[in-house]
Amino acid sequence: MFWQTTRFRIDLAEPRVMGIVNVTPDSFSDGGRHAGPGAALAHCERLVREGAHLLDIGGESSRPGAASVSVDEELARVLPVVEGALELGVPVSVDTVKPEVMRRALALGADIVNDIHALQAPGALEAVASHPQAGVCLMHMQGDPATMQARPAYADVIAEVTAFLRERIAALRAAGVAAERIVVDPGIGFGKSVEHNVALLRRQRELLALGRPLLLGWSRKSTLGALTGRAVDERLPASLAAALAAVQQGARIVRVHDVAATVDALAVWRAAGLTGSSGGAQQ
Ligand code: 9MG
């Protein structure tokens, strides 16, 4: 299975590591250490040296309760970093919900739009669909980042996430976006309790019925804190375990802060002959 993006057709026969680059002063897990284009670009270079197969660059924090930023501020944070990252030889994703940021990043040559709102904002779907072959990650979220953790509720979290993602894939396909451009993500921690997130991990394979590659982001998330009692800067072992479990359950891309450690963990997982495939049915 492949992921078609602007410049790269990414072979997902092997699991891929997407390195997180937060260009935000209020980022939940790096305290804004990479704020500013120079520092953020240096971080991109480091992640690529560490083995990142893709970079995901974002200028607005999506942690619960985070302040939103204006379009102009997000463009000022993200575009210079995207421009520099495009020289690094790996696919560059822009993490945004704003159509204008999507348009401007795609015009620069960005490879992928990673949208936690699954292109639901007016104009977002058109921004991606009008581009000949940009890749897109459609993520599920219940509510919005300001309120999503207040009272997440589902009758059946897997069924509801699956139905939502199926509807969003259909909307993109109807707008002319080739299936090969689309990957999907259940959105760990986005309007979900610890129990919902654990259910998504245990039953993740059911999402393979969507017929699109799965991208999972567990890195340093609060459910890992709840499971281990660890603070955010102590969650590397839990993040590695979650990434491996996700890959074993069929994920083809893991979105992580700790690229070098994840690449090493996956090398051992691969040597063990574990495939994580769905037995050929979906992936
Ligand atoms: C931006 N962002 C934060 N967490 C994420 C996750 O789990 N998946 C995706 N696709 N994006 C995320």
CA of 148 to the centre of ligand 1 (A): 14
Report whether pLDDT(29) > 60: no
Write the pLDDT tens digit of every residue in 103-118. Answer: 999 999 999 999 999 9
pLDDT for residue 276: 79
Taking residues 34-46, what's their average pLDDT?
85
Write the pLDDT tens digit of every residue in 251-267. Answer: 999 999 999 999 999 99
The reply to whether ligand 1 has any atom less than 6 angstroms from the CB of 188 is: yes
Question: What average pLDDT does the chain have?
Answer: 93
CA of 140 to the centre of ligand 1 (A): 9
Q: Which of 104, 221, 235, 252 is catalytic?
A: 221
Which residue's alpha carbon is at the smallest distance from atom 4 of ligand 1?
Answer: 217
User: Is position 9 annotated as part of the catalytic site?
Assistant: no
CA of 96 to the centre of ligand 1 (A): 10
Write the pLDDT tens digit of every residue in 209-225. Answer: 999 999 999 999 999 99
The reply to whether ligand 1 has any atom less than 6 angstroms from the CB of 58 is: yes
CA of 48 to the centre of ligand 1 (A): 19
Report whether pLDDT(31) > 60: no
Which residue's alpha carbon is at the smallest distance from atom 5 of ligand 1?
Answer: 217
Taking residues 24-47, what's their average pLDDT?
73
The reply to whether ligand 1 has any atom less than 6 angstroms from the CB of 255 is: yes
Write the pLDDT tens digit of every residue in 167-206. Answer: 999 999 999 999 999 999 999 999 999 999 999 999 999 9
pLDDT for residue 282: 38
3-state secondary structure the chain: CEEECCCCEEECCCCEEEEEEECCCCCCCCCCCCCCHHHHHHHHHHHHHCCCCEEEEECCCCCCCCCCCCHHHHHHHHHHHHHHHCCCCCCEEEECCCHHHHHHHHHHCCCEEEECCCCCCCCHHHHHHCCCCCEEEEECCCCCCCCCCCCCCCCCHHHHHHHHHHHHHHHHHHCCCCHHHEEEECCCCCCCCHHHHHHHHHCHHHHHHHCCCEEECCCCCHHHHHHHCCCHHHCHHHHHHHHHHHHHCCEEEEEECCHHHHHHHHHHHHHCCCCCCCCCCCC
User: Is position 173 annotated as part of the catalytic site?
Assistant: no
pLDDT for residue 63: 83
Write the pLDDT tens digit of every residue in 116-131. Answer: 999 999 999 999 999 9
